[in-house]
Amino acid sequence: MIKVHIGLKGSGKTPKMIDAVNTAIDVEKGNVVCITDGDRLMHTINRKARLINTENFDITNLDVFTGMLCGIIAQDFDVTHIFIDSIFKSVPSASIEDLEGFITVLENLEKKFDVSFTMMVSADENSAGANVKKYIA
């Protein structure tokens, strides 16, 4: 399963993600990972979720971010869901157009490793391409 929550800044995406992460901890049988920039979610997300702060890594583009996702999955085959908060904060060089190809990467990882992805995107929904739009929740 892939879900994309898209909206302009202040539209309530992060609170939705926090609720989804905490619900996933209770209902999923595997491990839950939350990727974000900074430590601001540390006290709001259930401590059973693995919180990864992208500020600790030199993520220059979506290829590097994809490598990090692959490393997370390779390190822990029990990961069932990866939440990505504010993709453009974690990967500042990425654009809404770049997400079209990135969605294909997520689709491949989902099929191969049975990992679900939920991604928060700060952008106008009308600017998303067809590949992103098919996963808008």
* Beta-carbon count within 10 A of 93 CB: 12
Could you tell me the residue range of the domain that residue 92 belongs to?
2-133
At residue 59, the pLDDT reads 92
Q: Are 123 and 95 spatial neighbours (Cβ–Cβ below 8 Å)?
A: no
Look at the chain and report how many structural domains it folds into.
Answer: 1
Q: For the whole prediction, is pTM greater than 0.75?
A: yes
Helix (H, G, I), strand (E, B) or coil at 68: helix
Kindly report the CATH number assigned to the domain that includes residue 117.
3.40.50.300
- Over the stretch 35-68, which tens digit does the pLDDT of each residue have? 988 887 777 888 898 989 999 898 999 999 999 9
Cα(6)–Cα(9) distance, integer angstroms = 9
At residue 42, the pLDDT reads 75
* Residue 135 main-chain phi, psi, to 5 deg: -115, 5
